[in-house]
Amino acid sequence: MRLDTRQGGQAKWRVPLSDVLVDEEILNAVSDVVSSGWWSMGPTVEEFEEAFAAQCGCRHAIAVSSGTAALHLALLAAGCGPGDEVVVPSLNFVAAANVIAHSGARPIFCDTVGPANLNLDSADVEAAIGPATRAIVVLHYGGYPCDIGAMLDIARRNRLEVIEDAAHAPGASWRGRMCGSFGLAGCFSFFSNKNLPVGEGGMIVTDEDDLAAGLRLLRSHGMTTLTWARHQGHAHSYDVVARGFNYRLDELRAAMGLVQLRRLDDRNQARARIVARYRQGLDGKNGLTIPFAPDDREASSAHHLAVVVLPEDGLQAPMRSFLKERGIQTSIHYPPIHRFSEYAAQPGRRLPVTDWISRRILTLPLYPHMRNEQVELVIDGVLNALEEARLGLEP
Ligand SMILES: *Cc1c(COP(=O)(O)O)cnc(C)c1O
């Protein structure tokens, strides 16, 4: 079998933004499940949940169909609903804001620390809290742990729940504890471009037994027994005790997840090496900067994203097209949520740092099996693109 055939869009890039590794182990894991004849949620999902909980140092892990489903269920289980407000960073993927709104609560957007730290700003979180605030959904931007100590402290003083959007942060830690394990619940995504890719999938981790039981109910229609238990003859009937969803993960993806989980530490270390090389080649060069300090004893990153901050406004678009012409795919993480039509329509808070930073950030290719010459191609490409784009800006 040929393993290096890319039939998707990746073939047209010399350096794609992200990429998955296809090998025999992952193909065998999937084909074993297919051969078993049990494809929907069952023993492989349970095994994946147990392994994930152990890796996170949490009592429970509940596998779901996506990171968005994880956030949705965590919000519902935390009791968020109509009349509530939930604070969430605007420099973020839109999923958390959408599911906050779906729960009936209102997302209240908060600002970013600054160009050296793209995580949410604790002072602005504090400023965003009002009498209706019920929870904070924190993000570990790019896999770099946010100031979770400050967030937990704010939450304790204001009697709020903390939900961690750890979509970027599997394997990241803060003071030796895994990201995702600090709040009431931690939510992970296994989308193809994330650090633990299976296609589509997610996980919620928590130490709370009751919350875990509630999440399992909501994941599967609010039904008291599962198809797998009935299949094994453990149960003949069921009751429905909540208005649930079908947010289950299937066995094929759980089998891929088990393989990817075993590789996570090595893969994250490979990402870290590439980011270190980017830092060496780009940080401080011609006004470019790379946010976040290198790992220290306080925080260890999962290095989900490689982001540079550009020295001027107006460089993003020309640099992106220059790099595209050279086969280098880039992105912007993220266009701020409070500027999207759906959310700009509501009266909101001023978020000057997010507005400013979103015009300056550029995300570079990053995936564990990037070859050295690809990394060097990106570094040279970015420095050349910056020069070209600046020439274009001159009057
Ligand atoms: C990817 C992502 C999600 C959503 O995960 P899906 O699995 O795609 O639903 C949520 N939040 C952040 C920050 C993400 O990057």
User: So what's the pLDDT on residue 12?
Assistant: 85
Euclidean distance between the first and the last CA atom of the chain, given in angstroms as a whole number: 56
User: So what's the pLDDT on residue 345?
Assistant: 84
Residue entry with tokens 């507005």: 355
- Specify the DSSP class assigned to residue 223: B
Both tokens of residue 262? Answer: 């075993």
- Pairs from 317-323 (Cβ < 8 Å, separation ≥ 24): 318/385, 318/388, 318/389, 318/392, 318/393, 319/362, 319/382, 319/385, 319/386, 319/388, 319/389, 320/362, 322/381, 322/384, 322/385, 322/388, 322/389, 323/381, 323/382, 323/385
Of 335, 291, 337, 293, the C-alpha closest to 310 is 291
Preceding omega of 141 cis (within 30 degrees of 0): no
**Does 165 sit in the ligand 1 pocket, CB within 6 Å?**
yes
**Does 247 sit in the ligand 1 pocket, CB within 6 Å?**
no
User: So what's the pLDDT on residue 286?
Assistant: 95
- Give the whole-angstrom CA distance, residue 355 versus residue 339: 9
pLDDT in tens, 346-377: 888 999 999 999 999 999 999 999 999 999 99
Q: Which residues have a catalytic role annotated?
A: 194
**Overall pTM > 0.85:** yes
Distances from the Cα of 109 to the Cα of 35, 137, 338, 364, angstroms = 47, 10, 7, 26
User: So what's the pLDDT on residue 324?
Assistant: 97
- Give the whole-angstrom CA distance, residue 335 versus residue 350: 15
Neighbours of 237 (CB within 10 A): 7
Task: Please list, residue by residue across 291-330, b when 16 or more beta carbons sit within 10 angstroms of its beta carbon and e when fewer do.
Answer: bbeebeeebbbbbbbbbbbbeeeebbebbbebbeeeebbb
Q: Are 370 and 11 in contact (CB under 8 A)?
A: no
Our mutation pick for probing the ligand 1 site, out of 17, 65, 66, 68, counting the most ligand atoms within 8 A of Cβ, is 68
Element (H, E) at 54: helix 43-56
**Does 68 sit in the ligand 1 pocket, CB within 6 Å?**
yes
**Does 52 sit in the ligand 1 pocket, CB within 6 Å?**
no
Instruction: State the distance from the centre of ligand 1 to the C-alpha of 141, rounded, in angstroms.
Output: 11
Element (H, E) at 25: helix 24-36
Phi-psi region of 109 (alpha: psi -120 to 50; beta: other; left: phi over 0): beta
**Does 92 sit in the ligand 1 pocket, CB within 6 Å?**
yes
User: So what's the pLDDT on residue 346?
Assistant: 80
**Does 48 sit in the ligand 1 pocket, CB within 6 Å?**
no
User: So what's the pLDDT on residue 378?
Assistant: 98
Atom of ligand 1 nearest to the CA of 191: 7
Our mutation pick for probing the ligand 1 site, out of 73, 75, 93, counting the most ligand atoms within 8 A of Cβ, is 93
AA letter at 73: L
Distances from the Cα of 1 to the Cα of 23, 24, 180, 353, 361, angstroms = 10, 9, 38, 50, 40
User: So what's the pLDDT on residue 1?
Assistant: 41
DSSP code per residue over 292-356 = SPPP-SSEE-----EEEE-SSTT-HHHHHHHHHHTTB--B-S---GGGSHHHHTS-----HHHHH
Q: Are 189 and 70 in contact (CB under 8 A)?
A: yes
Please tell me the number of Cα atoms within 13 Å of 16 on its side-chain side.
Answer: 15
Q: Are strands 60-64 and 306-309 parallel, antiparallel or unpaired?
A: unpaired
Instruction: State the distance from the centre of ligand 1 to the C-alpha of 209, rounded, in angstroms.
Output: 25
pLDDT in tens, 212-251: 999 999 999 999 877 667 777 777 788 999 999 999 999 9
**Does 95 sit in the ligand 1 pocket, CB within 6 Å?**
yes
**Does 67 sit in the ligand 1 pocket, CB within 6 Å?**
yes
- Specify the DSSP class assigned to residue 365: P
Our mutation pick for probing the ligand 1 site, out of 18, 141, 165, 331, counting the most ligand atoms within 8 A of Cβ, is 165
Atom of ligand 1 nearest to the CA of 139: 13
Q: What is the CA radius of gyration of the chain?
A: 21
Low-confidence ranges of the chain (pLDDT < 50): 1-3
Greatest CA separation for the chain? 77
